[in-house]
Structure 1
Amino acid sequence: MNWSNVLQASAGSLQPLPIPEAIWSNVSMDFIEGLPKSQGKDTILVGVDRLSKYAHFILLTHPFSTNTVAKAYMDNVFKLHGIPKTIVCDRDKIFCQDLLLSTAYHPQTDGQTEIVNKGLETYLRCMTGENPKEWAAWIPLAEWWYNTNYHSAIGKTPYEVVYGQPLDIHY
């Protein structure tokens, strides 16, 4: 991964991150934490391809280490998409331990993963209703829902961008 651009950029007015040249070459990651235990899990690692907007939602359990997060990424994302050139991540202590991170007020950070997080949290609240401890069972469908929904920023679904064709669903 190339962190030199992130490290060398100076603080200043907010600037958008450059548009990636290829899918899964630039990834943003964040955690959704503080969830009630569900199937033994209490955290979601959200990984989003910055070009296609395609996302993966990975279940974790506290406490977890940088190695645990890296293994979860390898098991769920790397095996499908390879190693990204860059990763934009928040200031979570896991990323601070061994990984380089985006800094507060840094001109090269983006809020893309936070937007995905809010949508995922809303989806899970709607689907679990009065059974909030059942959220983990909804993650596979939530990931499918997110990736097959139209995104105005890309003019199509993340699924279409990654697979080159619309999902053929007949209702």
Structure 2
Amino acid sequence: MTVLGCADSRVPPEVLFDRGFGDLFTVRSAGEVLDDAVVGSIEYGVEHVGTPLVAILGHAQCGAVAAAIDTVNGEGHLEGDISSLVRDVEASVRATPADSDADAFLAACVATQARRVATMLLERSEIVRDAVEHHGVQVVTAVYELETGEVKRLD
């Protein structure tokens, strides 16, 4: 399995999925943001390592998503390359229906980001798209709940 998880994730994917170290092809990026290196790494996992499953794994209380919410609400100011990273997550925040419960809204935005990243990966990567269409590879989304330790599949 290839796992794209957040750089901030507090538990290694190998522990979450009860796998040995080295059994997963793991890629990390704050907020699961896709850039050329992340897409290339996922493509490598699919094409050269031969992983049959790509999991986009968000996590509860994601700092990158929380920063994007603050920015969208005009409450945060970020400098340097952090701002471009957060800007990429803002589209997921804007696409998530409003909720007066801040924790529920953050959780919904995390789920939206994972789904959006999966869609973007398939749009952006011919290698992954071809593997899905012709070689049985699956792309799935999930969220890791910090409080319970549970991984919940989204799709």
* TM-score with structure 1 setting the length: 0.29
Which one has the largest radius of gyration?
Answer: 1
TM-score by length of 2: 0.31
The structure in which a higher percent of residues are helix is 2
